[in-house]
Structure 1
Amino acid sequence: MILSVCPNPSIDTYAWLEDFRLGQANRISKQQEFPGGKGVHVAMALNEAGESTKLLASWAGHSGIWIKSTCEELGIATTGVELRGMNRKCYTFLSETSSVQNTELMEPGPEMTQKDFDRFAGVFKRELEKADVVVLSGSWPKGAPETAYQELIAIANREEKNVILDCSGVQLERALEENVFGIHLNEHEAKQYCGTPDVLDAIHKLHEKVDLIALTKGKEGLYLSYQGKLIHANVTLEKVISTVGCGDCLTAGVAHGVSQGVGVEEIARYGAAFGAANCLRADLGMIYKADVEQLLPRVIINELTYG
């Protein structure tokens, strides 16, 4: 079982407008809502692929009930802690005529006290016993300690459980004070943490603390370094509908490959196919198994040489 941890889930809302007029009333013509948050996307992708997964999250208010129940309707087992307030909504406003495209508004979400975090860590430790792989991804609610992921990784390391991490900022910096099995970073996060835009330089620095490194560069694809191999994986798509959640689905693909015990090339193949599958539909942060199966044989794998 893969434990998918999402400390700060959201409702991702797409709202269509004829035009976006600042300072005036704007009427929404169509609206769609999806369960969101990086860890939620990971759990949905794993579940669709047929992988056993459980979603551990912080649930708050009516929005938390909606996210949780929607995931459960998809067949995803859930657990976690309840917080005061409401899980955040992230709005994307799309206008066909305005020069202001894809305007985003993000709610603050609930706050997490130290006591709340301690309860979260307790649930994590309990669920860890049943997990083969753990994916930690996304932000934390306001008030959570800067060492939140670091503390969860320390717990997992003591239990000898493989953790794959996908986060940024101070949480990433503190987390990498521990040894981490796997990490997914995009090129901007890698540059921010490693201080270099060069893939090989970034991977070399990250390997001081990390065994498996998945570094993505948009259309350029995935660079996966693991077990002494550096693999480049990419797949060409004729049409991209939405890229929201692609990185999260790629993380899920890598976790799926690790859980299945396949080789480095196949881990990279799953990662690239999962990420690309998310581009083929308008559903945010979601994949379809049929799309993944169609893409897997189309992924181009190349082994690169270090240095």
Structure 2
Amino acid sequence: MIYTVTFNPSIDYIVKIDNLRLGTVNRTQNEEIYPGGKGINVSIMLKKLGVENKVLGFIGGFTGDEIEARLKSQGCYSEFIKVADGLSRINVKISSKEESEINGRGPRIKGSDVEKLYSQLKDLKSGDILVLAGSIPNTLPENIYEDICDFLSNNINIVVDATRNLLVNVLKYKPFLIKPNKYELEEIFNTKLNDEEEIIEKGKELQKCGARNVLISMAGEGAILVSENGEIFKSKSPKGVVINSVGAGDSMVAGFLAGYLKRGSMEEAFKMGVAAGSASAFSHWMGDKAQVLRLYDEI
């Protein structure tokens, strides 16, 4: 079973305004509402690809109920912990001449709420996969990723998609997969990466620190996988018009896991990951299975 954890889920309210003007009333041309959060995105794409999984995390108030309802409408099974203090956040994303975002804070997560999460994690069994994705709210300890990795048995396959110290500090626990993008890789090593060889070299350095497989997304330039068996896989992005980059990296993680579980091959997992990530980049929200399989055949 695959479990995903989203510490601070959201309702993403996406609006299009031709010309946003501050200090006056603006009328929208289009509006869309989606459940948000990196772990949630992974779960939705896994479900689209026919892989059952369970969504974990924290929700609060009527917005939390709406997140849960929208996941259910996607066929996803969730076991959120409902917190008493505050509301799940609403993130407003404004598409105009310039892109703007207003992100909510989210509910207050108490120690007793975190204890409930650990009770859920105790049920994970050997061979299960746990996906830790995204940032953490300021009401949680900064080392929560490390604490969770330390809490789990060595037979749990951990996947981490996070930035800087959240990612680097869990490498000692030998995660099955990490997925930095090129920019995040440059942040970690505080250097500019100019070509594929430099990117691969840094991926190998992360392996020396403990990561088993390193999947590096490079937006329109494609992706690279530095696998634990020493193989290097590269792919250019399939041809298509990029409509929305939000969720593309999460879809790549989901596609990789779906491909690996179904085919048992790092090469096939990589191809499915690139296809799923591209499908979402070419869609207004998350790509669908038919689109993923079509792109898979092109890679």
TM-score, normalised to structure 1, is 0.90
**Partner of residue 46, structure 2:** 46
For residue 34 of structure 2, what is the amino acid of its counterpart? F
**Partner of residue 266, structure 1:** 268
**Partner of residue 164, structure 2:** 169
Deviations 1:10-57 (CA, angstroms, capped at 9, x unpaired): 111111223211111222233110011000100000000001111112
TM-score, normalised to structure 2, is 0.92
1:131-142 paired onto structure 2 within 5 Å: 132-142=128-138
Deviations 1:201-220 (CA, angstroms, capped at 9, x unpaired): 31121002111100111111
**Partner of residue 176, structure 2:** 181
- The verdict on how the C-alpha distance between 1:111 and 1:142 changes in structure 2, with shifts beyond 3 A counting, is farther
Contact 1:164/1:183, CA 8 A, preserved across alignment: yes
How far did 1:270 drift? Answer: 0.7
1:1-307 paired onto structure 2 within 5 Å: 1-83=1-83, 84-95=85-96, 99=97, 101-126=98-123, 128-129=124-125, 132-156=128-152, 158-196=153-191, 197=193, 198-208=198-208, 209-226=210-227, 227-283=229-285, 286-299=286-299
The structure carrying a bigger strand percent of its residues is 1
**Partner of residue 303, structure 1:** none
For residue 123 of structure 1, what is the amino acid of its counterpart? Q
Q: C-alpha separation between the residues in 2 aligned to 1:195 and 1:240? A: 28
Contact 1:114/1:145, CA 8 A, preserved across alignment: no
Contact 2:204/2:226, CA 8 A, preserved across alignment: no
Q: C-alpha separation between the residues in 2 aligned to 1:255 and 1:296? A: 14
For residue 268 of structure 1, what is the amino acid of its counterpart? F
For residue 63 of structure 1, what is the amino acid of its counterpart? T
- The verdict on how the C-alpha distance between 1:297 and 1:145 changes in structure 2, with shifts beyond 3 A counting, is same
Which SS does the other structure have where 2:232 is aligned? strand
RMSD over aligned Cα atoms: 1.7
How far did 1:159 drift? Answer: 4.7
Kindly report structure 1 stretches of 4+ aligned residues shifted beyond 3 Å.
Answer: none
Q: C-alpha separation between the residues in 2 aligned to 1:74 and 1:147? A: 32
| Structure 1: runs of 5 or more not aligned | 300-307
